Structure 1
Amino acid sequence: MELKLEGRQMDIGNELRDRITTRLQTLDQRFGPITHARVSIERKSHNNEQRAEVKTVINVPGNTISSTKEAATVIPAVNEALDTLTMELQTWAEKNKKSHTRP
């Protein structure tokens, strides 16, 4: 799996990088081959309010799955985005399994 992490308006520390890498490797092992994953974390400021936005895009054979989540801090935004990816991957895996089984 090729993984690209990028931080906009912020630095991604080693702890956050390790957390994201571990979660994505778990998803790769659990649901099949993830060929490419991209996680973009951006710190936003709007009306004197700090927000964190996480955009994730993963490529699996025959499909691209993405999610965008926003929260007050980075960790909850990352967790929500990866939880959404997990649900989407599970749905994709179930559909993929059904299409390859014979009646």
Structure 2
Amino acid sequence: YAVLQGCAEAGQRTVFAVVLAGYYGRQYLGAIYGAHRAAQVVGFALGPLISGATFDVAQTYRGAFIAFLFLSIAGIALVALAKRPQRRRASP
């Protein structure tokens, strides 16, 4: 399991970097990728806290999983609806 998890995580990071570079260009890729990873880490930190609080109140994780499902669907919808940023043209 750990080997598969490691391969999946490495693949995910590579794909995110390629997608972000294709979407925003390479000029500010480091800053954009850093902001992306920072937001991801916040989610990694909050997810267990929210899940634990939900379990403490309801004695089940069902509510937390349903909330995370809808948040994931909302995220997919936002990505699907996002428009490619316009490239600035050099002033003459």
TM bucket (normalised to shorter chain) is 0.3 to 0.5
Q: TM-score, normalised by structure 1?
A: 0.37
Bigger Rg over Cα: 2
The structure with the greater share of residues assigned to helix is 2
Q: TM-score, normalised by structure 2?
A: 0.40
The structure with the greater share of residues assigned to strand is 1
